[in-house]
Structure 1
């Protein structure tokens, strides 16, 4: 599954276009490598996403084409969440 689509379906980022922008800015890595919006993600991959003042590390648990809002968090597991200090 494409990275931008996973981020939208999992509701980590609300819109696919915004997910593409974040990936193109180099703020997302998959298993330690910089990711593009078109990068493929698989179950077991580790994502590191930089959101403004925090860095979130996730592990992908499942991939689905569509999920309900309350089931979206079952697609990933938050490994750690850190605040970034300047």
Structure 2
């Protein structure tokens, strides 16, 4: 499954076009390799996604073509969620 579709179906990112844009900006890695929107994701892959001041690391558990809201979290597990501190405002 393509990374942009996985991020949308798993509801990590709400729109596929936004997921595509983030991937094509080089802000997503799959197993320590920079991903493009067309990069393939498989179970047990580790994804690192950079959103502004937040970095989300997840492990892919399963791939589903469609999900209901309650089933979306079955697709991945959060490994870590890190926030950069804004030292300018302290």
Class of the TM-score when normalised by the shorter of the 2 chains? over 0.9
What's 2:66 paired with? 66
CA RMSD of aligned residues (A): 0.7
Give me the TM-score of the superposition, normalised by structure 1.
0.97
Give me the TM-score of the superposition, normalised by structure 2.
0.93
Structure 1, unpaired ranges of 5+: none
User: Whose radius of gyration is greater, 1 or 2?
Assistant: 2
Give how far 1:85 is off.
2.5
| Count of matched residue pairs | 86
Structure 2, unpaired ranges of 5+: none
Q: Which runs of 4+ in 1 moved over 4 A?
A: none
Give how far 1:70 is off.
1.0
Give the whole-Å Cα distance in 2 for the aligned partners of 1:37 and 1:27: 11
What's 1:20 paired with? 20
